[in-house]
Each structure stands twice: as structure tokens, then as C-alpha cells.
Amino acid sequence: MVYVPIHLGVLKANRHVPPLYAVLQINLGFWLFPAIVILTLFLLFWDNLINHPKVSTVTFLAISISLFLFISISVAMIDGYKMIDGQWLPAFFEPYNRLSLEYYGDVPLLDEVGLYHFLKNYSQPDIFQNLSGHTQTHPPGGVIFLWAFSKIFGYNLISASLISILFTSIVIIPIYLLAKELYSEKVGRLSIILFLVMPNFVIFTSTSMDGPFSVFLILSIYLFFKSISVPKKRIAICLGLCLSFGMLMTYSTAVIGLYFIVFVSLSFIFNRQQFHSLIKILSISLFFFATFYVFLFLATNFDPFGALWASIKKDEAGMGTGYETVGRYLNLSIANLLAFLIGVGVPLTIPWFNGTVKSIQLSRDLFPLSYLVTLVIITFSTLYTMEVERIWIFMAPFIVIPAAKYLHSRSNISDLRWIISLMVLQLLLFEVMLYTYW
């Protein structure tokens, strides 16, 4: 096997386009046209969604969710139809058909053994060694999610793909509410406009389970800041349960926990009064987070620590630890950061960074500052070995909200139009020129 000189591990010199985990593949077929039409209409009318007086909050959110669905599906369909099990099916079905790799392939196993046995023996050889590649590196929530909806809509590619996109569209609401809670109504709306054409979220929502995984993580961020402004016990309880559901879906929930720890630590330095309130909020949330897993263990004997350890060893066996040598550690860490920033949109990273710096300088705003610290820690932690342009899509609020605040403060419609237009261009170029596997 030939690796690129920087020894990233999963990237092969004769195939991939480092630092992205993608393959050069040109798609200029008929299905590019619907995507161009939808994105052109978006470019023509997005400012009406922000500024038109007749567009209420409910209308704005409903239209935004609809746009999210149309944009995600149309962009995924740029790859057209592909031969799957002897049938020509839409391209965004393809990942769910890789039964040896994807959570979808484990639904029949869960259905056969039952939910109790599946959870009880999740990390044991009789279950774990029969799971697909991605499921082995994640907790059981992804399979349970698809299994639960298969009971309603049947076990088929159409229901699995569409329910993933529909469920992910929920994130529109907490992102808007979070931006509005932190800053203003206009920043909330502009955040959603930027989010709707965020390249990595659009591309991977319709072709991976990372979209559904992001729902509880993004919701927990909103609940955290809501509990600060409205310090009520029920919000802290909801936060704890939301984090527990998130951890059942993806171990990346730990990143959100780290963000909360960083935010609380910085509050101790800059806002001692807020610090005491945060300790109370997170104590309640942690209690109900732990209580959820205690009840889950008592009901099913599910061992979250055993599942985590099995996933860690499986991931290390395939990807390495990331710190085999100093060179690989530095190359991998820097490549992770570059892949993520490219994935969220090169035009978006400029207002995000400028907005973050400006907020820190002028008001010591802990929302972007805490994220910047968290991003540095996670980037250089080796907890992730590439593919972060997909895995880190749950970080979207931390990017689009500071960028939206900065662009709103500049009151320069020309700059805003250029950034949104360039993001649409990058989105189209990525989908036309790259095959992103998932």
C-alpha cells in the first residue's frame, strides 16, 4: 500500500485529494441542472427571508427547513443514478447499501436478536465482531435509530436515506434559536442562510449518519446557553438527557462536554458570578446524564465503558493512534484543521475568524472564545484521524453564528452577497469534482 508522504494513514497517494478524504471524480450530467436551479433561486431570494417584514419566524423556519431538504437532496443527486444490487438508484442511497461498512447493514442483526440482547452484548464478540465497520467505532444509537424507523416505514433504502435527511433538518431550529439567544433575530436568520450552503453539512447530510448524529449535539449547545439566560432546573435536566442521547449516537458528544468545561473555566476567569450558576447547571445535567445510563444498564445490562473501549481498539487497529512519530502527529493534526476549515467553506472561514477575534477583543465573548480553545485542543488531540470534514459537521453553530454576527455588524450587503455566492460555488465544485465516499 502506498501512502502520501505526510503519512495521514487513510489517504492514498494514487487516489485521494489531501487533506480531504475524497477522490477526484468529475460529474457533469443532467442532475447538475436541478441543483444549479435550486441554488440560483436561493441566491436570488435569500435576502427576502432575512429582511421581508411579512416573513414571520415560523414562516422563516419552515422555508429554511424546506430549502435544507431541497438543497441537500439536489446536491447529492449531482452524482446521478448508480447501479446498486442490479438496480439504478439515486446516488444518495449508495452509502446505505454498503452493508459491511454502514449502520444500515446492522439493522437486520438488531431485529433478529432483539434490542435487549443487542445492547447487553454490544461489546461482546458475538455481536461486536458481526457489526459493520462504522458501527464498531460508534455506540449503538445509530443502528437503533435506523431500526426504530424501519419498524414504522420498513427496512428499505428510501426510508433510511430520507428519514436521515428529515431528522437532520431539525438542527435548523436550535441553530436559529441559539443565535437569537446570544445576539439577535437578524443574526439568527443570517446564521441559517450561511448554514444552508455550508459545503460539508450539505454534502454529508444526505450521504451519512453524521447528520442525524449532530441533532442532539447542536440541541445541547442551545439548551446550555438557554439555561444560562433562564436558569431553570427543567432546562438543565433536558440538557443532561440530550447529552445522554447524543452519547448513545456518537462519541463526539465528548467534544461538546469539553466545550462546556472550557466555557466554565473561562467564566471562572472573566465572569465569576456566571461561573457559580454554570456549576449548578452542569451538576444537574451531569446527574441526569449519569442517571440515564444507570437506568439503561439496569434495564439492558448495556456497558457503555466496554463499548467505548472496544471502539477505541477497533479504531486504533485501522487508523493507528496518531502519535506513532512526531512527524505523523503534526501532519495529522494540521491536516485535520485544514480539512475541517476547507469543508465548512473557505469563504466562510474568513468572517468566522474575523468575527471570533473581534468578539474576543471587544467584549470577551466566551461563545467563540471557548470554541476556539476547544478546536485547538481537539485538533491536536489525535482523537480524530482524518475525515473530520464529515465527522465535525456538528460544529456548524460555532462557525456560522460568529460569522453571521460579524457580517451583520459590517452592514455591507455586497460582502455578504460575495461570501454566500462563493460558498454556493464551492459547494457545487466539491460535489461536481470530488467523490466523498459517504
CA 288 from centroid of its chain's CA atoms: 24
Q: How far is the C-alpha of 132 from the C-alpha of 118, rounded, in Å? A: 14
- In a domain? residue 252: yes
Q: How far is the C-alpha of 394 from the C-alpha of 247, rounded, in Å? A: 13
Which residues are within 8 A (CB) of 364 and not within 5 positions of it... i.e. 6 or more apart? 270
- In a domain? residue 229: yes
Of the candidates 257, 284, 205, the residue with the CA atom closest to the CA atom of residue 370: 257
Its pTM stands at 0.93
Q: How far is the C-alpha of 71 from the C-alpha of 125, rounded, in Å? A: 41
Q: Give residue 80's domain range.
A: 16-435
Question: For the chain, what is the domain count?
Answer: 1
Is the model's pLDDT at 285 over the cut of 90?
A: yes
User: What is the residue type of 326?
Assistant: V
Q: How far is the C-alpha of 62 from the C-alpha of 57, rounded, in Å? A: 9
Peptide bond preceding 199 in cis form (omega within 30 of 0):
no
Q: How far is the C-alpha of 347 from the C-alpha of 35, rounded, in Å? A: 20
Dump pLDDT digits (tens) for 190-221. 999 999 999 999 998 877 889 999 999 999 99
Strands (DSSP E) along 179-338, which ranges? none
- In a domain? residue 1: no
Cα dihedral angle (105, 111, 115, 117), rounded to 10 degrees?
-90
Reading phi first (left if > 0) and then psi (alpha if -120 to 50, else beta), residue 386 is in left
What percent of the chain is modeled with pLDDT above 70? Answer: 95
- In a domain? residue 6: no
Beta bridge partners of 82: 89
- Sheet holding 434-435: strands in order across? 16-17, 20-24, 434-435
Type and span of the H or E element at 16? strand 16-17
Which residues are within 8 A (CB) of 11 and not within 5 positions of it... i.e. 6 or more apart? 3, 4, 18, 19, 21, 386
HEC string for 234-261: HHHHHHHHHHHHHHHHCCCHHHHHHHHH
- In a domain? residue 140: yes
Dump pLDDT digits (tens) for 142-196. 999 999 999 999 998 888 888 999 999 999 999 999 999 999 999 999 999 999 9
- In a domain? residue 214: yes
- pLDDT confidence bin for 437, thresholds 50/70/90: low
Q: How far is the C-alpha of 219 from the C-alpha of 171, rounded, in Å? A: 7
Is the model's pLDDT at 329 over the cut of 90?
A: no
As a whole number, mean pLDDT of residues 108-131 equals 93
- In a domain? residue 50: yes
Q: Of the ranges 18-27, 126-135, 215-224, 376-385, which one carries the lowest mean pLDDT score? A: 18-27
Residue in this structure with the C-alpha cell 475568524, named with its chain if needed: 353
| Burial of 11 (C-beta count, 10 Å sphere; 0-12/13-18/19+) | buried
Q: How far is the C-alpha of 343 from the C-alpha of 338, rounded, in Å? A: 8
Mean pLDDT value across the chain:
90
Q: Of the ranges 11-25, 113-127, 320-334, 362-376, which one carries the lowest mean pLDDT score? A: 11-25
- In a domain? residue 3: no
- Cβ neighbours, 10 Å, residue 87: 11
- Cβ neighbours, 10 Å, residue 430: 22
Is the model's pLDDT at 13 over the cut of 90?
A: no
Q: How far is the C-alpha of 350 from the C-alpha of 358, rounded, in Å? A: 12
